[in-house]
């Protein structure tokens, strides 16, 4: 299961790999903002308190439950 955090104004943070190193990829409305090597670097782009983790529940297929 992939992890993902969303925030205001179309912000999304997802784990990724860049040049063999794990990063936290920050996107806004689908556009790459930054690949961050630390949580502190992510905090330069968004207030961490505004992020919410998206949790996908297994077995849910109807969009009604999202």
State the DSSP string of 24-38: EEEEETTEEEEEESS
Name the β-bridge partners of 13: 5, 26
* Residue 59 pLDDT grade (very low, low, confident, very high; cuts 50, 70, 90): confident
Q: Smallest Cα–Cα separation from 17: which of 37, 1, 32?
A: 37
10-48 per-position pLDDT tens digit: 999 999 999 999 999 999 999 999 999 999 999 999 999
Note if the pTM is more than 0.85.
no
Q: Place 62 in a pLDDT band, splitting at 50, 70 and 90.
A: low
């Amino acid at each position: 299961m992939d992890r993902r955090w969303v925030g205001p104004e179309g912000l999304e943070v997802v784990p990724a790999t860049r040049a063999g190193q794990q990063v936290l990829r920050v996107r806004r409305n689908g556009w790459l903002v930054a690949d961050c090597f630390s949580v502190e670097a992510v905090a330069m782009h968004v207030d961490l308190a505004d992020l919410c983790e998206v949790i996908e529940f297994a077995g849910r297929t109807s969009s009604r439950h999202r």
